[in-house]
Amino acid sequence: MATVMIKSDRINLDESFGLIGRLRLRLRETLRGKTEACDLALACLLARGHLLIEDPPGLGKTTLAKGLAALVGGRFARIQCTPDLLPTDITGFTLYNQQTRSFEFRAGPVFADVLLADEINRATPRTQSALLEAMAERQVTIDDDCHLLARGFFVVATQNPLEHLGTYPLPEAQLDRFAMRLSIGAPDRATELELLQEARGRDRGDDAPDAVIDQPALERLQETTAGLLVNDAVAGYLVDVGRTCRELRDGTGGPSPRGLLIWQRVAQAWAVIQGRDHVTPDDVRHVAGPVLGVRLELSPAESDRLVAAALDRVPVPLGGRRG
Amino acid sequence: MRWQGVPVPSSDTADTHAITIGSVRSSVLPLPARADAMRIDKIDRPDFFRTPADDVVTLDGIEVTAGTTVHAQSLPGGVAAVGAIAVTAPPAVDETARNEVPTWAGDVLDAWGIDRDPAAAGWPQVVRIVAEIQRRIVRDDAASTPDDCPDTLRHMLTVSHRGRPYDFAGAAAMLLRECGYPTRVVGGLYVSGERRDVRSRRLVAAADDAHVWAEIRDAAGRWIPLEPTPGYRLRPPTVPWTTWALDGLHRLAAWMRARAATIAVIGAGLTLLAAAAGFGWRWCVDALATAWWRQAMRRGDVCPARAAWHLIAWRAWLAGCPRRPTETVRDWHRRTLASAAADEPLSFVTAFEQSAYGRHATPRDRLRHGQVAAAAARHVTVARLRQRFTTESHRWQPS
């Protein structure tokens, strides 16, 4: 019986590896020259996390979000966050229909499969908080009615790290809802030249990729990812690094237990993307920077240094009991 | 013994003796050691004498009359030369010699470290037994045995370690018989040459000069005297150096047999030292680690990828590029061998990760891991690691 179960797992994994391989390929074609960012964004999606991208305008944040939404066959919605954006502009509202003489619910953009919250730090804290329940619980409550969001609801939020005038920094509780913080960065010269050559004589907006999978398939991939093997030794390593981060922050910050859970899930997703049926310390280390960076309340450079210091303090286990 | 009815002329090759009987009441004629001819005054009939034992002559039951002079001839050198007989035949070995020997005699020999192996039989063993008696037992003319002790020799050899002169001869005979040598105890007179009266040219023997020693028979039938009692000048038989050499080889072989494991370890250590001198210590440690790895790979219960990693980790240490404790195997590989042309190491890292962090390996996985690990062990050598890792900037020093 056990043998059959393992075999069944492996068939599912093999299918998953094939689907993820195609997703990676198409996403890399969508966002040229940024394979690492593409893979991390995909890992975030597979881990059922939400993604925060910190980059100046024009580096491909929207392209990445739209590409992800198109590849997984989901509905895409975008919110341009401004100080006058209201919570109901995101979640939706109840409207009285005079013809039917009843109240109707008008769903907001949060009911999409992939939501791009552009320049989220320009929205007021009240509006930002409206996203809290949606991101954490995948549901919104309007007029005492609870509305479930899509099972694969995925938020890609962006913020400009350079411009702080008229912005509202995301509170710690809000940041903890994101799985990782990512910086795409400018592409290299060759990629930029290639982009210019391809853009000649072509309309903007006609480069949206076709869907590779549908939402049920994405859910199956996410379930497969959640079930990936994490060795006890590897899990212990992850916890030790997290605790070391807290020690280095003098106990005033660092990843929460929820952050560790998300970190493990992202490491599982990264392992699946690498075509492995188990998580290794390399996976944990690879995603540590983006996952912990959003939780350390430090600048990207400072958080990278702190994470590197933590990783350099904890010995890597060489095997152990299977978890 | 050669009997002659006429006086024996003195010569350079023989000693002549004229022994006058005093108050001894015995039918045994007093003869010098190593005597080969004798006569008594005018008795010229050989059938008048009897030889109840080798080298023992009697007057056929008649007591020798006081004042009788026995003329005898012996080999030159006197008493001092008696024991120095050059043995030409090995000592005889006869199993019946053990018949009346008590069982504890063997224990005494074992306790003294005497090899009782029949293959060790020979004059060196005889000489060793006699020498051990002289070394371990103190001559004490007043030594006594408790009244309730039934065995005088056992008391002397195992308890008191002190004995009277005649006990030494008995002990020697018993221990030699235990080894299968036909041995006898011989009684006679031992008169020191210092008591010789120069003026009368006589040597007077008294009752105190009575002495007992042992004689062992050689394969040619000769009785070779042995002197186990300390204080008596009788040299042991002259054994040819070839016999001693063969005995030494035999003892060396026995010693090596008894310490085979120790010798094997010492031999391996010396071989390693020699190899270290010739090839360098890194080569030696690597050879040891590789031997361990090969042995581990033969066993079915060892994960091949993990065993190979241990081997490669040793080699990395030898090459000066060990894995840091906070570094993953993949990162170590990236730091040291990333640009290597061959794919074996990377495949090996994947196999190691699967065995270390993944599910239990299936037989197919184990087979593949074994192949990958073997290829990695061939590829990632100390020399290659050192060659790829020579610049100081790549080295890691523990903080």
For residue A44, give the CATH number of its domain: 3.40.50.300
The rounded mean pLDDT for chain B is 79
What percent of chain A is predicted at pLDDT more than 90? 27
Please give the structure tokens belonging to residue A136: 């954490």
Task: Give domain status of residue A207, yes or no.
Answer: no
B388 CB-contact burial (10 Å; exposed 0-12 / middle 13-18 / buried 19+): middle
Task: Give domain status of residue A194, yes or no.
Answer: no
| A8-38: pLDDT as tens digits | 344 367 788 888 898 899 888 888 888 899 9
Give residue B284's pLDDT.
77
The reply to whether A181 and A243 lie within a common domain is no
The reply to whether A287 and A150 lie within a common domain is no
Helices (H), A176-214: 189-199
CATH of the domain at A285: 1.10.8.80
Task: Write the Ramachandran bin of A251: left for phi over 0, alpha for psi from -120 to 50, otherwise beta.
Answer: left
Task: Give domain status of residue A1, yes or no.
Answer: no
Distance from CA of B114 to the nearest CA of A (A): 57
Please give the structure tokens belonging to residue A232: 């006890």
Task: Give domain status of residue A105, yes or no.
Answer: yes
Local structure of B115: helix, strand or coil: coil
Search chain A and give the residue with CA nearest B351: A276
Please say which residue of A201, A219, A237 terminates a domain.
A219
Sign of CA pseudo-dihedral A297, A300, A304, A306: negative
The reply to whether A139 and A237 lie within a common domain is no
Judged against a pLDDT cut of 90, whether residue A261 lies above it is answered with: yes
Distances in Å between the alpha carbon of A248 and those of A175, A243, A303, B109, B326?
A: 20, 9, 11, 76, 17
Distance CA B207, CA B23 (A): 9
Task: Give domain status of residue A65, yes or no.
Answer: yes
Distance CA A210, CA A69 (A): 10
Give residue A270's pLDDT.
95
The reply to whether A45 and A114 lie within a common domain is yes
Name which of B309, B327, B358 is nearest A316 (Cβ-Cβ): B327
Task: Give domain status of residue A64, yes or no.
Answer: yes
Distance from CA of A10 to the nearest CA of B (A): 11
The reply to whether A273 and A159 lie within a common domain is no
Search chain B and give the residue with CA nearest A312: B326
Q: How many CB atoms lie within 10 A of CB A92?
A: 18
Give residue A2's pLDDT.
31
DSSP string, B260-297: HHHHHHHHHHHHHHHHHHHH-HHHHHHHHHHHHHHHHH
* ipTM value > 0.90: no
The reply to whether A165 and A73 lie within a common domain is yes
Local structure of A60: helix, strand or coil: coil
Q: What residues in A contact B328, CB-CB < 8 Å?
A: 280-282, 285, 316
Angle, alpha carbons A26-A28-A33 (nearest 5°): 160
Please give the structure tokens belonging to residue B46: 């050989």
Q: How confident is the model at residue B96 (pLDDT cuts 50, 70, 90)?
A: confident
Q: What residues in A contact B357, CB-CB < 8 Å?
A: 229, 231, 233-234, 278-281, 319
Q: Is B325's CB within 8 Å of A233's CB?
A: no
| A49-63: pLDDT as tens digits | 999 998 888 888 888
Does residue B333 or residue B171 have the better pLDDT? Answer: B171
Give residue A48's pLDDT.
92
Task: Give domain status of residue A308, yes or no.
Answer: yes
From the list B397, B340, B332, the residue with the least C-alpha distance to A318 is B332
The reply to whether A248 and A180 lie within a common domain is no
Q: What residues in A contact B327, CB-CB < 8 Å?
A: 316
The reply to whether A244 and A142 lie within a common domain is no
Mean pLDDT computed over B340-357: 74
Q: Is A311's CB within 8 Å of B356's CB?
A: no
Judged against a pLDDT cut of 90, whether residue A211 lies above it is answered with: no
**Residue ranges making up the domain that contains A118:** 8-186+212-219
Q: Is A282's CB within 8 Å of B330's CB?
A: yes
Q: How confident is the model at residue B77 (pLDDT cuts 50, 70, 90)?
A: low
Please give the structure tokens belonging to residue A114: 């992939």
Instruction: Please say whether the beta carbons of B330 and B353 come within 8 A.
Output: yes
Does residue B15 or residue A149 have the better pLDDT? Answer: A149
The reply to whether A44 and A148 lie within a common domain is yes
Distance from CA of A228 to the nearest CA of B (A): 10
Q: How confident is the model at residue A235 (pLDDT cuts 50, 70, 90)?
A: very high
Q: Is A318's CB within 8 Å of B355's CB?
A: no
The reply to whether A150 and A73 lie within a common domain is yes
Task: Give domain status of residue A46, yes or no.
Answer: yes
Distance CA A67, CA B199 (A): 139
The reply to whether A14 and A156 lie within a common domain is yes
Judged against a pLDDT cut of 90, whether residue A280 lies above it is answered with: yes
Give residue B304's pLDDT.
83
Judged against a pLDDT cut of 70, whether residue A133 lies above it is answered with: yes
Count structural domains, chain A: 2
Least confident interval from A103-117, A208-222, A250-264, B84-98: B84-98
Q: What is the pTM of this model?
A: 0.61
Instruction: Please say whether the beta carbons of B46 and B89 come within 8 A.
Output: no
Q: How confident is the model at residue A297 (pLDDT cuts 50, 70, 90)?
A: confident
Does residue B64 or residue A50 have the better pLDDT? Answer: A50
Give residue B298's pLDDT.
79
Mean pLDDT computed over B61-71: 79
Distance CA B123, CA A212 (A): 99
Residues 274 to 293 of A: which have CB under 8 A from any B CB?
276-282, 285
| Helical (H) or strand (E) element with A269 | helix A257-273
Please say which residue of A219, A241, A273 terminates a domain.
A219
Give residue A272's pLDDT.
92
Give residue B274's pLDDT.
80
The reply to whether A42 and A161 lie within a common domain is yes
The rounded mean pLDDT for chain A is 85
> DSSP code of A153?
-
Q: How many CB pairs under 8 A join A and B?
A: 54
| Chain B residues interacting with chain A (CB cutoff of 8 angstroms) | 306, 309, 325-331, 353-360
Q: Which residue has tokens 């993949």?
A: B330
Give residue B3's pLDDT.
47
Judged against a pLDDT cut of 70, whether residue B305 lies above it is answered with: yes
Judged against a pLDDT cut of 50, whether residue B1 lies above it is answered with: no
Distance CA A147, CA B107 (A): 100
Search chain B and give the residue with CA nearest A235: B357
What percent of chain A is predicted at pLDDT more than 70? 92
Give residue A266's pLDDT.
96
